[in-house]
Amino acid sequence: MRTTTRLLAVAIATTLSAVMITPPASAARGTFTFYDNDGGMGIVDPDDDVCYRLGFTIRQLDNATNRYAAVFAKAECGGASVNVLRPRSAAPAPGDAWVRFQRSRSGGAVVVGSKAQCKTGTGTPRTPGRPR
């Protein structure tokens, strides 16, 4: 009886410690690459529901993540999305581009909260090139 109780206690403690250590799945897996006239940059494992500013001369987008990427042409992911890239897909960009990652595509529309987080200057910093 004591052995069973001890084994049960160890199993419960192990399960609880694994649950407490494991972070919630709140980030995409993979790389989102965006290209301008000078080359490309990427966001590795981007956070869900965070608005990322890509730049003002963005020409191409490559979503190699496991999340949908809602692309916006307005600052801080404002207004309606201009495109929603499904996981592992590519599309042309609107020029001035912002992106937000989400687990699912909600009927093609993206709901933007009033308290949206915004990140600017992701990836390796570099000076954007002039449009050619």
- The structure's pTM equals 0.63
Closest Cα partner for 112 from 83, 70, 84?
70
pLDDT band of 115, cuts 50, 70, 90: very low
Residue pair 120/90 in contact (Cβ under 8 Å)? The answer is no
Could you tell me which residue, 11 or 110, shows the higher pLDDT?
A: 11
Comparing 47 with 114, the larger pLDDT belongs to 47
Among 74, 68, 101, residue whose Cα is nearest residue 82 = 74
Q: In the structure encoding, which two tokens stand for residue 11, read together? A: 């199993």
Evaluated on CA atoms 114, 52, 78, 104, the torsion sign reads negative
Distance, CA of 101 to CA of 69 (rounded, Å): 5
Kindly state the average pLDDT of the residues 18-25.
48
Which amino acid would we find at residue 78?
G
Reference 100, options 62, 47, 58; nearest CA is 47
Q: What was the pLDDT predicted at 92?
A: 95
Rounded CA-CA distance 92/60 in Å is 4
**Low-confidence winner among 1-10, 71-80, 89-98, 122-131 (lowest mean pLDDT):** 122-131
Confidence check: pLDDT of 123 > 50: no
| Separation of alpha carbons 108 and 96, rounded Å | 21
Residue 94 has a pLDDT of 87
